[in-house]
Structure 1
Amino acid sequence: MTQELHIIGGGMAGSEAAWQAANAGIKVVIHEMRPKVETFAHRTGNLAEMVCSNSFRSDDNEQNAVGLLHWEMRQANGIIMQMATKHRLPAGGALAVDRDPFAESVTAALMAHENISVSYEELTELPDEGHWIIATGPLTSAALGQAIAKEAGAESLAFFDAIAPIVYFDSVNMDIAWMQSRYDKGETEEERTAYLNCPMTKDQYEAFIDALLAADKTEFHEGETAGYFDGCLPIEVMSERGRETLRFGPMKPVGLTNTNDPENKPYAVVQLRRDNALGTLYNIVGFQTKMKYGAQKEVFRMIPGLENAEFARLGGIHRNTFLNSPTLLDNQMRLKSRPNIRFAGQVTGVEGYVESAAMGLLAGRLAAAEIQGREIPDVPNTTAMGALVTHITGGADAKTFQPMNVNFGLFPPLDGMRGGRKGRKERYKGYTDRAKEDFAQWLEAQS
């Protein structure tokens, strides 16, 4: 049996898995179907291409679970966090990334590694022999998806995911819009003014909601029955849940003062986050959509400040697939029916760039250890990475399993802090302190 590690998929998870295994001394072959076979969402053939938001979310590693996951991945020499930090953009407390230079840097680092090679091809069958990681993400090709579903003995679960539009900065009316991060968050002036804000009056908001509800939308094909992931709902779906839903979600007006009209507090605010280092592109935060292209232009130009907006990319919707991992994977992320195959990334039922890369990091280390005849202790479930992998490989209820972001609700309770007896900040700090200590010990055990 070959001692090479083969990875199907060169996204966040596949790239991180390859980096971790190669640094452990394993020869790795990444099998990536792009650019020969295109997908709905990808634009390039780069590895680790960002296809939706350009944000890795909060970088706070003391009060936020995803920020803690950032910290853990940095401690484990993760390539994704290394390049995300190198190409970060001002975004208040969030880790936003200049997407093209980020993907180009990840690709260059992997291609330059002596233990990594890339084969550009579409694989359509599950391999019988060798060591494999399938990290094809939510846009797994139809043929490979069918092979996985056949092996699993049941249809893969699915949900629909949407992406937000991107606007050219020079088409924004700055007599109406202003620059400010919510609550002026950030250590520098650039960070405190990292977002574009477009204000709405009550009448403008009500007209906008009416237009959203009436707009032409993408219809699903007959027989496609799947839910949405709550963390990435199209704005039309949110508005259907109640007219005020958006105003208490992505359009909340709190923590902002309109510098163009400081005496009047907006009824709602649309925020745009910088999408590249040049500051020429901004994405509309939280505005994933299933509206048809023509409708998007009409409706989004109703937003004050965007009346003449030009779009570098319009939003869209696509079908994401994921495994029922609690029933199909063991605690080493191996397919129970074919233990020579591991799964990693969004296809396992984690949600988000960071979570996907983290599962790739873990799968790469586990596969390398198995090939070399080493044993790695289970990553503690008190850590962000451990809590997440525990959830998808048995902690979640298989009957109701849905994609999940990392969150403190997945962590074991702290001694003496059950039932909310301590304040939230104290509890979260307790979670992160415990996680950092346990994660450091886990890494030390592998050295």
Structure 2
Amino acid sequence: MTDRLHIVGGGMAGSEAAWQAANAGVPVTIHEMRPTVGTFAHRTGSLAEMVCSNSFRSDDDEQNAVGLLHWEMRAAGGLIMEMADAHRLPAGGALAVDRDPFAEAVTARLRAHPLIEIVDEEVTALPASGHWIIATGPLTGSALAQSIADEAGQESLAFFDAIAPIVHADTIDMGQAWRQSRYDKGDTEDERTAYINCPMDRETYEAFIDALLAAEKTEFKPGETAGYFDGCLPIEVMAERGRETLRFGPMKPVGLTNPHDPQTKAYAVVQLRRDNALGTLYNIVGFQTKMKYGAQKSVFAMIPGLQDASFARLGGIHRNTFINSPTLLDAEMRLRSKPHIRFAGQITGVEGYVESAAMGLLAGRMAAAEMRGESLPPAPGTTAMGALVRHITGGADAKTFQPMNVNFGLFPPVDARGGRRNRATRYKLYTDRAKADWTAWLGLREAAE
């Protein structure tokens, strides 16, 4: 076989797609514009760089849909999950990752693969022929984005995505803050103390909300009318929806006890999660923001324990584009008008690191099978992987299509056998069924080889 699979974009989806295709015996070229062409959010030239949170979210594969997706990717020999496990940080029941070593390890593995080459160049237009996967993510270059929009015959949908600030740990006042994961989750003491908590009484919380609402914000350019993805709302947008919204969201005080004053229940709590293995950096959980830098420093200084904090990175906001996949893609993630091109990752309208990598995993396997002249059966819709790809390629309403995290609402219903109102029972039925069906699907794939 002389054909090569060309992948545009070396993020989570592109990296995973390359790994899967190369392991199926298909030569791969990854076209990555960084570091030659930078972006607002990226800091390095590493592949699979994490630009927002360092969390892959819940790792519970029996009660959580994203944890099930973790399980499915591990079962499929996913590179992203292998490297995430190798560089995981204590985070209670979540899978948090030491972001720089993780990205460096993914890059090293891909560079070492004999069937993978990495080319530092920007692809500015949809290719006319060959075998291609477009996995350029939320920060697709403007020229390529325009080429995609021209081919689609309509403007790409878009929303705004925000990133949270990161704090130097040694500047947090531990005389006011304390270490504890919510409800003491975690199997080890290190995991149970992976979060730093900053408490607020009611007066402090109300003053904080006032300052948040009054702070100077980044203004959008004329004509930018896109909305926000609900899973990554700026904190000031949440505050505008009601003064108590943050207290019942990222600042909820439940499951936490302040050892400095155990008899007093905090009115609200700001949590920070470890961001690197050294424990020198912590990101403020759920504190995506569009406040200007000066405003961030003054508003965040109102948080008890962060009054003298030093920031390794302040928050920010950027435009995030995605295509209307239910209209434009077929069931194998191919562009209907140019079926030699597949799309994968966040540009397809999935949201989250894991979901993006999962779509890369499927796109890589689909492309490899096609290039080898094989028939790959669709991933079962009863699995997390299958439910997600079916949603973006036809399950969602094209008129209201918005980015989506994996969730059990995308799965075919299960027969709870008397436990329909018991969520734990129902979710376990979902995950048991998915694991059996995913294992069988992987077996079919291996038999075809």
**How far is the alpha carbon of 1:228 from its aligned partner?**
0.2
Identical amino acids, percent of aligned pairs: 78
Deviation at 1:35, TM superposition (A): 0.2
Specify the code of the residue in structure 1 equivalent to 2:377. P
Contact 2:416 2:425 in 1 (8 A): no
Secondary structure of 1:357's counterpart equals helix
Look up the SS of the partner of 2:210 in the other structure: helix
**Higher mean displacement: 421-430 or 47-56:** 421-430
**Secondary structure of residue in 2 paired with 1:368:** helix
| Corresponding residue of 1:322 | 322
Q: Distance in 1 between matches of 2:167 and 2:417?
A: 45
Asked if residue 189 in structure 1 is aligned to residue 180 in structure 2, the reply is: no
Change (3 A) 1:305 1:395: same
Partner of 1:424 in structure 2?
A: 423
1:435 aligns with 2:434: yes
3-state SS of the aligned residue for 1:118?
Answer: strand
Following the alignment from structure 2 to structure 1, what is the Cα–Cα distance between the partners of residues 163 and 298? 18
User: Residues 134-190 of structure 1, C-alpha deviation per residue, up to 9 Å, x if partnerless?
Assistant: 000010000000000000010000000000000000000000000000000001011
Structure 1 gap ranges (5+): none
Note the C-alpha offset of 1:3: 1.3
Give the alignment's Cα RMSD to 1 decimal. Answer: 1.0
The alignment partner of 1:445 has SS state of: helix
Residues 2 and 130 in structure 1, CA contact (< 8 A), matched pair in contact too: no
CA distance in 1, matches of 2:237, 2:385: 31
Normalising by structure 2, report the TM-score. Answer: 0.98
1:247 aligns with 2:247: yes
Amino acid at match of 2:214: A
Q: Which amino acid aligns with 2:442?
A: L
Secondary structure of 1:298 counterpart: helix
Instruction: Say whether 1:139 aligns with 2:126.
Output: no
Match of 2:151, as an amino acid? E
1:325–1:349 contact (8 Å) kept in structure 2:
yes
Distance (Å, rounded) in 1 between the aligned partners of 2:279 and 2:118: 33
Q: Distance in 2 between matches of 1:395 and 1:374?
A: 26
**Structure 1 length as normaliser, TM-score?**
0.99
- In structure 2, the partner of 1:278 is 278
Secondary structure of the equivalent of 2:159? strand
Quote the offset at 1:415 in angstroms.
Answer: 2.6
Q: Does the 8 A contact of 1:9 with 1:134 survive in 2? A: yes
- The SS at the match of 1:256 is coil
Correspondence for 1:95: 95
What corresponds to 2:443 in structure 1? 444
* Aligned-partner Cα distance in 2 for 1:417–1:199: 43
Aligned to 2:200: 200
Query: Which one-letter code corresponds to 1:113 in the other structure?
Result: H
Q: Residues 195-226 of structure 1, C-alpha deviation per residue, up to 9 Å, x if partnerless? A: 00000000000000000000000000000010
| SS, match of residue 304 in structure 1 | coil
- Letter aligned with residue 57 of structure 2: R
3-state secondary structure, aligned to 1:167: strand
The residue type equivalent to 1:234 in the other structure is P
1:105 aligns to what? 105
Shift of 1:422: 3.6
CA distance in 2, matches of 1:277, 1:259: 25
- Corresponding position: 1:121 with 2:91: no
Greater mean deviation of Cα atoms: 420-429 or 72-81:
420-429
Aligned-pair distance for 1:377? 0.6
SS of the residue corresponding to residue 35 of structure 1 reads coil
Deviations 1:256-308 (A, max 9, x none): 00011111110000000000000000000000000000000000010000000
Counterpart of 1:148, as a letter, is I
Secondary structure at 1:126's aligned position in 2? Answer: coil
The answer to whether 1:67 aligns with 2:67 is yes
CA contact (8 A) 1:14 1:344 kept: yes
Cα 1:145–1:157 change in 2 (3 A) is same
Give the residue type in structure 2 aligned to 1:91.
A
1:417 and 1:427 in contact (8 A); partners too = no
The aligned runs of 1:1-400 (5 Å cut-off) are 3-400=3-400
Number of equivalenced pairs: 446
Residue ranges of structure 2 left out of the alignment (5+ in a row): none
Q: SS of 2:276's equivalent?
A: coil
2:132 partner SS: strand
Please state how far the C-alpha of 1:315 moved relative to its aligned partner: 0.2
Shift of residue 417, structure 1, vs aligned partner: 5.6
Distance in 1 between residues matched to 2:106 and 2:289, nearest whole Å: 29
C-alpha distance in 2, partners of 1:234/1:277?
27
Matches of 2:40 and 2:175 in 1, distance apart?
36
Instruction: Give me the whole-angstrom Cα distance separating, in 2, the residues matched to 1:222 and 1:85.
Output: 43
> Quick one: distance in 2 between partners of 1:395 and 1:429?
23
Secondary structure (helix, strand or coil) at the match of 2:158 reads strand
CA 1:416–1:173 in 2, change beyond 3 Å: closer, same or farther?
closer
